[in-house]
Structure 1
């Protein structure tokens, strides 16, 4: 097992499926102890077993992330389980698509609670403690549709556009204390969550130079890079991993 991240502890939200799980597995493979946070206990325990069977170390925290309180409680629980958090990956998110007039107030609140409030207050809890120790890495997961307009994706895209701005603001705020904050902006990716999109996912992916959807592991590779020492001079970047869609 590679050990580039040995001795470090990572918290991955949404780590029981999709991009989050692929990221948790990859971080553990590089030696990090990983705390996986998610709603589905069965998937979470399965992810922990996968990591442990490969020789890694992981914990699962069953949590319904829905705003400030849940974020602060998760931060405290993760540190009780595994010690100080060195790496935070904000991967959990929801992505309802549809016409603006069809979105309800409840959907609006749910999207912003999970996609914006949870990362905000996890950073509020964990980044100052990272700064006190003089090191840390935070990687946020956004989306390519935060970078350009696409019909039916305004609610989701706007929530992730907020995360792009927060990434740059947090880099300015915490970077001088040794905490690097960056983001990855994925394109269409085949996960459990996007399976419901059916052919529309492939159609969306076909517009990019790569001409296909990504595997979760391809997005995770960029996240793990930004979390590690190889990216020591990267601050405030939003890295597109979208098959070239935002380049054309």
Structure 2
């Protein structure tokens, strides 16, 4: 690694597994002091132990973000303290994915998914972005999704929350960009950890038929995109959603 985030501090929500974990590990490997955050203490401790064993700096802050301003602000405060007084990079990654059909979605499920996927990052950003302005600037990276722009039969509720996050990315870039805070997003495609036998799960593979990649992506692919957006290499990038989806939303490959 080249130390692209040397001296930076970062909070990555939902980073005890999968994409969030990959982002936290990649940021730490590039020199950032990272706060790993999630609901499960044991998994968080394991991620932190792995980062430290590799020579990186990390701390765990437990958080079960439910959309309330109180819990979002508490995480912001605890992470700021753990990171020595400032957060340079915020990654809004935490989310939930119940996928009932529209007619089968209860009001409680609707409220829960929007609370975790939209309200929590909204109020976390509302707390952290102004602090970034005061400290001289920062970077915010949101997580969107390929199904916010390519309709699928199931997942209307989830995809609408990710569409909201991509819209907030542009709105926050306009609001905070002139004050020194860059805001962008990564839109993952079908992302699954590598299987133990080296093959992609059947459903994921089917969903990637007809794409240039032809197969599912790994959490590392998203982490590398987030790293670029967090680094000075992306200093001229504002309000952009970077598709890391194997071409799923933008390209159709016709087999001969």
Give your verdict on TM over 0.5.
yes
Instruction: Give the shorter-chain TM-score range.
Output: over 0.9
| Runs of 4+ residues deviating >4 angstroms | none
The answer on whether the counterparts of 1:17 and 1:191 sit within 8 Å (CA) in structure 2 is no
The answer on whether the counterparts of 2:86 and 2:135 sit within 8 Å (CA) in structure 1 is no
Corresponding residue for 2:82?
81
Distance, in Å, in 2 between the alignment partners of 1:31 and 1:185 is 24
Q: Larger C-alpha radius of gyration, 1 or 2?
A: 2
Distance, in Å, in 1 between the alignment partners of 2:159 and 2:175 is 24
Distance, in Å, in 1 between the alignment partners of 2:2 and 2:115 is 36
List aligned pairs for 1:149-228, cutoff 5 A. 149-191=151-193, 199-228=202-231
Distance, in Å, in 1 between the alignment partners of 2:152 and 2:210 is 12
Classify the secondary structure of the residue corresponding to 1:206: coil
Distance, in Å, in 1 between the alignment partners of 2:212 and 2:156 is 23
Distance, in Å, in 1 between the alignment partners of 2:47 and 2:17 is 8
Corresponding residue for 1:39?
39
Compute the displacement of 1:207 (Å): 4.0
Corresponding residue for 2:105?
103
Q: TM-score, normalised by structure 1?
A: 0.95
The answer on whether the counterparts of 1:93 and 1:114 sit within 8 Å (CA) in structure 2 is yes
Distance, in Å, in 2 between the alignment partners of 1:100 and 1:69 is 30
Q: Show structure 1 runs of 5+ residues with no match.
A: 193-197
Compute the displacement of 1:52 (Å): 0.2
Corresponding residue for 1:12?
12
The answer on whether the counterparts of 1:37 and 1:61 sit within 8 Å (CA) in structure 2 is yes
Corresponding residue for 2:241?
238
Classify the secondary structure of the residue corresponding to 1:173: helix
Compute the displacement of 1:96 (Å): 1.5
Distance, in Å, in 2 between the alignment partners of 1:29 and 1:143 is 25
Compute the displacement of 1:36 (Å): 0.7
Give CA deviations for 1:100-140 in whole Å, capped at 9, x if unaligned.
11111111111101100111011100001111222100000
Give CA deviations for 1:174-233 in whole Å, capped at 9, x if unaligned.
1011110000000011149xxxxx532222122422111111001110011101100000
The answer on whether the counterparts of 1:189 and 1:213 sit within 8 Å (CA) in structure 2 is yes
| RMSD, matched Cα | 1.5
The answer on whether the counterparts of 2:137 and 2:179 sit within 8 Å (CA) in structure 1 is yes
Classify the secondary structure of the residue corresponding to 1:117: helix
Corresponding residue for 1:195?
none
Distance, in Å, in 2 between the alignment partners of 1:191 and 1:102 is 29
**For the structure 1 residues 191 and 96, does the alpha-carbon distance in structure 2 shift closer, same or farther, using more than 3 Å as the test?**
farther
Distance, in Å, in 1 between the alignment partners of 2:104 and 2:157 is 11
Q: Alignment length, in residue pairs?
A: 244
Q: TM-score, normalised by structure 2?
A: 0.92
The answer on whether the counterparts of 1:135 and 1:177 sit within 8 Å (CA) in structure 2 is yes
Corresponding residue for 1:142?
144
Q: Show structure 2 runs of 5+ residues with no match.
A: 195-200, 252-256
